[in-house]
Amino acid sequence: MVYVSAPGSDEPSVPPAQLMVKQFDTNGDGLVQRDEVKSDAFLTEHFGYIDASGDGAVDLQEYNYVRNAGASGYGLTAIRIGGAGDRTATNVAYMVKTGGIVTVLDPVTGEILKTGRIEKAIEEYFSSPVAAGGKLFFVSESGKVGVV
């Protein structure tokens, strides 16, 4: 199993599309082009995928799709990837979060079996832990690897 946990929010983290267009649409065509968002770090950084059609302009539908995707519950998803033999003894879930805090869970009940911290880990973690050779590897946002 691969377990993926995701943060969420009850509210979208960016303003409604109409406000975005009102603020940035300087040429008045009802769309927002890349050069119109130069003053906004978020829109500049994310413009490429927000413009899903790739036509160089963000319309209300494209913006709202991304905006609404940002509002979802916190969650943990399990993905079965195979395995063989009796896996009862190894049937636990590992999760890591900011600061390298590792939690070991019973994947059926959600009971916390153990918590700990990766040594010298103070960064964000977005990747799933990887098991190999009897060890667990945790890769931080900057690419530092913690081994447990």
Binding stretches for Ca ion (CB under 5 A): 25, 27, 29, 31, 33, 51, 53, 55
Half-sphere exposure (Cβ direction) of 139: Cα atoms closer than 13 Å: 7
Closer residue to Ca ion in complex, CB, 29/106: 29
Q: Which two tokens stand for residue 137?
A: 């590897």
Tell me the closest approach of the beta carbon of residue 9 to Ca ion, in angstroms.
25
Closer residue to Ca ion in complex, CB, 48/83: 48
Closer residue to Ca ion in complex, CB, 33/98: 33
Contact indicator for 5, 31 with CB cutoff of 8 Å: no
Tell me the closest approach of the beta carbon of residue 12 to Ca ion, in angstroms.
19
Local structure of 146: helix, strand or coil: strand
Tell me the closest approach of the beta carbon of residue 21 to Ca ion, in angstroms.
8
Strand partners, 105: 93, 112
